[in-house]
Every structure is written in structure tokens, then in C-alpha cells.
Amino acid sequence: MGASKEFSAPISLEIDGRTFEIINLADAGDLLLHRWPIDTTRRRAAMRAIMLALRGEGDIALARRVFIAAAVEIFALRED
């Protein structure tokens, strides 16, 4: 994955007792698809934003913000 697909800073999450360091769009998308504990509107919004950014049709900074909002919603964001 090229630098253009990387987030400006890593995002640290804890889901089901496991810690994840999300550094790019692919990591975020994989986590949303395979490990997210609950389907919510914010999860779906994050998935859309990430897909658009991966295709070059959306903004990576916006995708990161929407992903963080989804993480905050399920109390998964770690504040190290």
C-alpha cells in the first residue's frame, strides 16, 4: 500500500480485548469488515468513506475522521 493510502497518524483501538494499530485504509477496512463487533450507521459510513478513498474518489483525512467516529461509538478508541 502506497504512502497516499496511509493515515496521517496511527489509530489505536481495542476490540474484544485485542489491541489494533490502524495505520492505513486497508487496515481500517479489514477491521470494519472482519472484527467490528456491531453494525451501526457510523460503521457503514466509515466503510463507505474508506472504500471511496481507496478508489481515489474520496479524501483519506475524511475517511480517518469517520473511522474514528465509528470507533468512539463502540468505545474502542484507545487514548494512549
Amino acid residing at 36: W
CB 7 within 8 A of CB 22: yes
What's the whole-number mean pLDDT along residues 64-78?
Answer: 97
pLDDT at residue 1 greater than cutoff 70: no
State how far the alpha carbon of 19 is from the alpha carbons of 35, 55, 77, 78, in Å: 12, 27, 10, 9
Parse the chain into domains and list their residue ranges.
3-73
What's the whole-number mean pLDDT along residues 33-37?
Answer: 96
What's the whole-number mean pLDDT along residues 12-41?
Answer: 96
pLDDT at residue 7 greater than cutoff 60: yes
- Is 0.75 surpassed by the pTM of this model? yes
Nearest Cα residue to 6 out of 65, 76, 61: 61
The DSSP symbol for 16 reads T
